[in-house]
Structures are given as structure tokens and as C-alpha cells.
Structure 1
């Protein structure tokens, strides 16, 4: 159980947030009169009072809202909670959607202190149910629903696609098949081939969004720009070779050219990353093979299923 010690808003993006005594929370939007509300996954930002206090003890002079946080809460370490955690404040219900954020341009706090806690300690949420909140209100932490849909992200690798010279056909096939199978698609991305953009996005999707599975399509062949497997290996803690090998063996029964696929699969924390081929036909065939069995592996990652050993 935590307690709200501060509510902060800003009427325009790029301006500092200022404290208010109470606020109206709108379902599917965020805080009324706050510029960061909208139809997206970062509607309300939260930061622990204890993290702010510790930062102040280092000599930082920061006022409520200085980090861009909407809610300051005492008694809850937000960054230690998994995505999907829910927070109850009276009638209001929030769901944790992202841990931390990228810091593209260092803020004034960082420039003065050489550090800023928001990128690693701040979290973001969506509004499941709205209502009115006030400073001093209690916040209850509710565990994620074990029956919630599996979440997924789809990343297409294509130089021509990213440059607008070719339509991405494989990514939408993956997304459509996943939705039909009951998955919730959190993000779809189209990136140029190459190591750095892909590794950055895989890390973000696994660490901050904490999606259950990431599917990549493209970049698994013999071309010098085909480095999707290398990027995947670079970010994974453990490999899951059986998935890539199984897809490859299945595809060999359709076309012998499947032998030229260098696709890999692996795990980063509790996220599975699966490389798929680049063509829509091959993607469809691979998912027809994989999707019926995939929920068991994802439930093991979540900790809601037993291992695969049989008597």
C-alpha cells in the first residue's frame, strides 16, 4: 500500500509540471489538463517519493514535477514491479505499461547533477478506469492478471521498406495472425537493416515494455546487411535454438532453400525473441507451425505453467 504525496501536471508539452491538490483521471486518456494525456501507453507517469528523497540527499534541489512525473507515491518501488501490475486509487484503476524511458536529450537536472532518476526509476501507466484523486489518497498494488492475453511486438527489417521504397507485407501478416490467435500487439516497427537500431529496439521492448514475445522479419539471409541474427544474439541472455531449428526443419519440407536461413531465437529476461523469414509466404508457414505450441513456452516464461518433462 502506498500514499500519493504529489499530483503534477503541465498544460503544454516541453514545460515543467506543477503540483495540484486533486485531479480528474479520464479512462483511456490520463489526467485532465495534462499535456501528456492521450490515446497511447504512457498516459500517466509515476515516481517513488523515496527515490526523489534519495536524489535530494545527493544535493539535488528538485521540486515536485521536476522529473516530469504525474504522481509521486510514498511506499511503492515502482521500478521493481512487472509490466501489467495494476494500481487502485479509490475508483481509479491504472495499469503499468512501461518501466523507465529513453533519455534522448539530457534535462537540466542531468546537466547539473550528472544523473537523472526518471529514465530508470520512473514508470508509465494507462488508465483502465477513471475517477478523481487527491493528494493523501492511498494506492493499492494489484498483481497482474495471470489470464491476461500474451503481448507481442513485430519488427520488420528492410532498408527499402524503411526508406519508403517497398511496402512492408510480412509485418502485417505476423500482426494479423497473432491477433487472430488472441495476442495483444503492443508495437509494430519498420527499421532499416543493421545492428544498432535493432539491438536498441529489442532491448527497449524487452526491458521497458516487457512484451512476452518479439517477432522479427527479414535480415536472416546471406546479404552483408542481413544481421538480424547477430543483433538478436547480442541482446539475449539465453538462446532458444529449438524454436529456430524447428521452424527451419519444417520449412525444409516446403522448400530446400530454407537451409539458407540463419534465423535464431532467444530469451532476454522474460521476453522471447523469434527471427522469422522475410517473405509473407514463409512468415505465414512458420507461424502456422509455431503458434499452436507457443503458449506453453510463454506460460513457462511468465511462471504460470510447469516445464515440459513427461513421465
Structure 2
């Protein structure tokens, strides 16, 4: 019997945290993963304010304590003064993987010219892959579509559990022997 793999879902938003509006971004990530992942998984959801130390603490806890091989964080990737998700991510990662941000921006640029303002990135902390996503639900789907095929193999390479995708939604790429 297999155990569900924990996947970290973090929304960084002052307004959602204080109840000004409902978090729609975290649930958008969960909806995406429900359709895209074939491997049994469970969400480890966190909602934090746009504060670098709080974001860093959530990422560290999900990676180190909860052992999430994949942590997807939405929000705080723009150029505004409270947008500190990339700084928090960089602080806690052992390695930054620039290709993720490049691919997500290129995919987003096909839809909106403001994609060049996005500072999303990805990196690893031990055997966890942390991926920054934009805050808008439609942009989340665009960005995950751009990188999801590589995520399972990246997790393989850093020593995480094997994730399989639903091939009708995303074809995982793993190089041959």
C-alpha cells in the first residue's frame, strides 16, 4: 500500500492572510495537481503574509519537517515592495535552477506583456524542489504547464520520491538509459 506524498502549497498574500479576500491561488494549485498527478499525494497547505521571514520559515518547515519533495508557492513574485517570495526562496535554497523561471516567463509572455515583470524562480533545498508561481490562477496553470514535465525528473535527481503525471494532462520527461 502506497502512502500519499506530501506536497507543499504556500500562498504568500497579506490580503488573503488578513481575510480581505479569499485565497484562490492555493486552491488553483491544488486543482491543477489533482488533474496532473497520477501518484497519490496530499496537500500541505500554508497561507502566510508577504513577509520574507514568514515565507522562509514556511518553506523550511515544509522541506525539512514535512519532507515535501515539491513545494509550490504562489504570490509575491512581482516588483512591488512587499513582493519578497524570490528573496525568501533564495535564502533557503541550496541551489537555484534558473531554467524554471525562464520557461515560466516565456510561456506567460505569450499571454501577457507584463510577464517580464515576474521574478519567479525555483531551487532545491535538500531533496525538495521549491517553485515560485505567480498569484493569478490562470497564470499558475500557464506556468505549471510550462515546467511540470520536468518536475518529476528533477525530484528524482535530488533524491525525492518518484512522481508520475497523468499522461493525458502532462507527459513527464525522463531521459532514457
For normalisation by structure 2, the TM-score amounts to: 0.84
Does the CA-based 8 Å contact 2:6-2:66 persist in structure 1? no
The aligned residue for residue 134 of structure 2 is 277
Higher relative contact order (CA 8 A, sep 6+): 2
Cα distance, 1:166 vs structure 2: 0.7
The aligned residue for residue 25 of structure 2 is 170
Does the CA-based 8 Å contact 1:194-1:227 persist in structure 2? yes
Paired with 1:279 and 1:229, the residues of 2 have a C-alpha distance of: 16
Alignment of 1:152 with 2:16, yes or no, is no
Task: After superposition, give the CA deviation of every residue in 1:83-132 in whole Å (9 maximum; x if it has no partner).
Answer: xxxxxxxxxxxxxxxxxxxxxxxxxxxxxxxxxxxxxxxxxxxxx9xxxx
User: Counterpart of 2:158 in 1: which secondary structure?
Assistant: helix
The aligned residue for residue 253 of structure 1 is 110
Q: Name stretches of at least 5 consecutive residues in structure 2 with no aligned partner.
A: 163-173
Paired with 1:283 and 1:157, the residues of 2 have a C-alpha distance of: 14
Larger strand fraction of residues: 1
Q: Name stretches of at least 5 consecutive residues in structure 1 with no aligned partner.
A: 1-127, 129-144
Aligned residues: 164
Relative to structure 1, the CA distance from residue 229 to residue 304 in structure 2 (aligned partners, 3 Å threshold; closer, same or farther) is closer
The aligned residue for residue 240 of structure 1 is 97
Does the CA-based 8 Å contact 1:179-1:185 persist in structure 2? no
CA RMSD, Structure 1 to Structure 2 (Å):
2.2
User: Counterpart of 1:214 in 2: which secondary structure?
Assistant: strand
Q: Which aligned pairs between 1:19-58 and structure 2 lie closer than 5 A?
A: none
For normalisation by structure 1, the TM-score amounts to: 0.49
Paired with 1:162 and 1:304, the residues of 2 have a C-alpha distance of: 31
Which residue of 149, 158, 161 maps to 1:292? 149
Does the CA-based 8 Å contact 1:154-1:187 persist in structure 2? yes
